[in-house]
A and B are shown apart, each in its own frame.
Chain A
């Protein structure tokens, strides 16, 4: 039989630490701080709206771009929060999670050989999706001393004649870092001067604890060169509903919609009806969850300080990113030992790129009680080192 496989896909290595994840998912009595999804249930009024839509028999495809009603809500949300104006008819596509949005955004803009700058550590799908689209991935190593913010000089160092896209994600998974307006200005300046397109994954935008999130698209001259990716998973605790969206200039979004139309058809109808209500009436529930996350964030930071594990102060998402370099182990060694010895699952920072080496991603999408049990075990583990 001939080799049925695509060279491009075979060349993309499955994550080296997948074995670690398999063990963690199968072991008994594990206390996990390893998830990237909220522990809250989707607010009841949102679930109820999904159920109601089913009762009414709303079980058909929506238009390819998604329910217009939902796109209008998203436009009004972006205006409310970022003073950004988008045309719901031409500049917004509802996707199957932020993940699909990442994929189609890259595919619609990349020709073979185009370079995409991806600051790391970052979410795991950016580089593989860029490669599948034919891009050359240029990783940029973010530094803890900069609180994992992207700096102008670092960006300039990575730019070549072939650079087309900069992929950023703040508030960041896995570091919890954020970028303020002042932090974003110099980056926007480079993007404008060097004619870069920015894909800004803002899936954690509602989880920012020191002032509101600022989208790079809201900076001068940036809306025309920015694709914003966002979704319902993190803010509204709707991971399982698989619903996200992207917004951007009409002539780019039009091409993205083509891929979406042929590959996906349309995002799940039930999820879209539920999401309309989430966007319309969800602010209060989001604020409640944000307050809880923030309390856990403060709690964990104080506890890691007590355990003398250095950790910069993350200001967004629901992760802290402590540094374990002083223990003389790699992230994966540390995480594996912690898993076997004390049955606590955390994610090695190296899962998110080379610059994540020496760090752990600790999620606080858990109740204080759960965090305390895990911390007790971690404390015991540290005594054995």
Chain B
């Protein structure tokens, strides 16, 4: 049941608790308790809103920065990761397989701001060997949602 609750919330974090309880065949109280428990266990780590900033007047720049580092003795990659994650402008950070060790996804106001983050904060860390910055030009799909989805084709009203 936990997995089904999570799948439901993953699609719609704002789902009405009363509706969700009916959909899952549980009582509202049980569902609320289960969700609270999963928040406590940090299975559910937060709730966000998916926004297409391109449709607002706010200027946002998203960049993917690939980072190659030297792992630290006894701490592997964690020390570097924990440090970089502290910056609020870092939206996501993943350890990767392949040529680079990390990708850091950054949200900044301008390209210059992103560039400054890379040169002043990231590249200067001792363990960083090299970085490669990729700027996002357009977002088509995010968190499983197509940002500019086309209207659904119409079905007939009654079919047997």
- Which chain A residues border B143 with CB–CB below 8 Å? none
Given contacts A291-B4, A291-B7, A295-B8, is CB(A34)–CB(B22) below 8 Å? no
> Which of A24, A123, A124, A351 contacts B157 (CB under 8 A)?
A24
Question: A372 near B: Cβ within 8 Å?
Answer: yes
- Cα A291 to Cα B10 in complex, Å, equals 14
> Which of B19, B23, B158, B160 contacts A123 (CB under 8 A)?
B160
Contact at A36–B160, with CB atoms within 8 Å?
yes
Question: B159 near A: Cβ within 8 Å?
Answer: yes
- Cα A345 to Cα B4 in complex, Å, equals 31
Contact at B155–A37, with CB atoms within 8 Å?
yes
Q: Output the nearest chain B residue to A295 by Cβ-Cβ distance.
A: B23
B19-55 contacts to A (CB < 8 Å): 19, 22-25
- Cα A118 to Cα B41 in complex, Å, equals 55
**Contact size range, A:** 20 to 34
Contact at B19–A25, with CB atoms within 8 Å?
no
- Which chain B residues border A368 with CB–CB below 8 Å? 19, 23
Contact at A347–B24, with CB atoms within 8 Å?
no
- Cα A319 to Cα B156 in complex, Å, equals 17
> Which of B4, B22, B158 contacts A24 (CB under 8 A)?
B158
Q: Output the nearest chain A residue to B153 by Cβ-Cβ distance.
A: A41
Interface residues of B, count at CB 8 A:
16
> Which of A25, A41, A173, A299 contacts B158 (CB under 8 A)?
A25
- Which chain B residues border A351 with CB–CB below 8 Å? 160
Mask, B6-24, CB within 8 Å of A = 1, is: 0110000000000100111
Question: A81 near B: Cβ within 8 Å?
Answer: no
- Which chain A residues border B19 with CB–CB below 8 Å? 299, 368, 372
- Which chain B residues border A30 with CB–CB below 8 Å? 157
Known: A25-B156, A345-B157. 17 other contacts (CB 8 A): A21-B158, A24-B158, A30-B157, A32-B158, A34-B157, A34-B158, A34-B159, A35-B156, A35-B159, A36-B159, A291-B4, A295-B24, A299-B22, A347-B158, A351-B160, A352-B160, A372-B19
- Interface of B toward A, CB cutoff 8 Å: 4, 7-8, 19, 22-25, 152-153, 155-160
Nearest 10 pairs of A and B residues by beta carbon = A295-B23, A34-B158, A32-B157, A302-B22, A298-B25, A299-B22, A36-B159, A299-B23, A21-B158, A35-B159
A-B contact pairs, 16 of them (CB 8 A): A21-B158, A24-B158, A25-B156, A34-B157, A35-B157, A35-B159, A36-B159, A37-B155, A37-B159, A123-B160, A291-B7, A295-B8, A298-B25, A299-B19, A303-B22, A368-B23
